[in-house]
Structure 1
Amino acid sequence: MAYDPGAIDATLAATVGDEPALIVELRLAFITGAERTLGLMELAGGNVDEWRGAALRLHGLAASFGAVRLMTLARSAIDGRPGDLSTVAKLRRAIARL
């Protein structure tokens, strides 16, 4: 799956129109929310319910903003091993690329 750096901006522009300041604000809110949710996954450690709950939230957040790569990685985390550091690192990189 290819990384599309404009997907989030296109999704936001389709939603709010030609409002650059609002797009920037919403993008920042999305990234902050994704980082916060990833933090919850890290705090969950090996707790299956907390890990999966946070991964589901991250998946939904990514889906609502059109962040396909992040959504795919979050989907894998839902079914993956709770507390997996490799998964966390992949998610962190995907968020940083946004």
Structure 2
Amino acid sequence: MAYHSASFDSALAKAAGEDARIAAELRSAFLGSVEQRLDLLKRARCDANWYQAAERLRGLAASFAADELMTLAESALDAAPGEPTVVRSIEAFIDNFGE
């Protein structure tokens, strides 16, 4: 299932206007940032690092109005560091994002 969010699309349209090239660059930058935040989560070995990485992910999701990702980040905030179900859910979000 492909990721689709009207709020994300709306935020992207506000930022890029009618320029499809800019919209594509923003989507790519967003996805790259999500991957970086996931990497931080995977490398977190203590509560503080995990929480900080999850907060960064939630902030990124909020800035792009990516509601599904925001929910996943909030799940990470409630989970223990390294929680595999959280990591897999975010990986699934990334895998489904471009489809």
Specify the code of the residue in structure 2 equivalent to 1:97. Answer: N
Across the aligned residues of Structure 1 and Structure 2, the Cα RMSD in angstroms comes to 1.5
**Same amino acid, percent of matched pairs:** 40
Cα gap change, 1:59 to 1:79, in 2 (>3 Å): same
Distance 1:49 1:31 in 2: 24
Superposed CA offset, 1:77-98 (max 9, x none)? 1121111011100111112222
What TM-score do you get using the length of structure 1 for normalisation?
A: 0.88
Contact 2:5 2:66 survives alignment (8 Å): no
Q: Which has the higher contact order (CA 8 A, sep 6+)?
A: 2
Post-superposition, which runs of at least 4 consecutive aligned residues in structure 1 deviate over 3 A? Answer: none
**Unaligned stretches of 5+ residues in structure 2:** none
The letter for the 1-side match of 2:12 is: L
1:16 aligns with 2:36: no
Aligned residue pairs total: 95
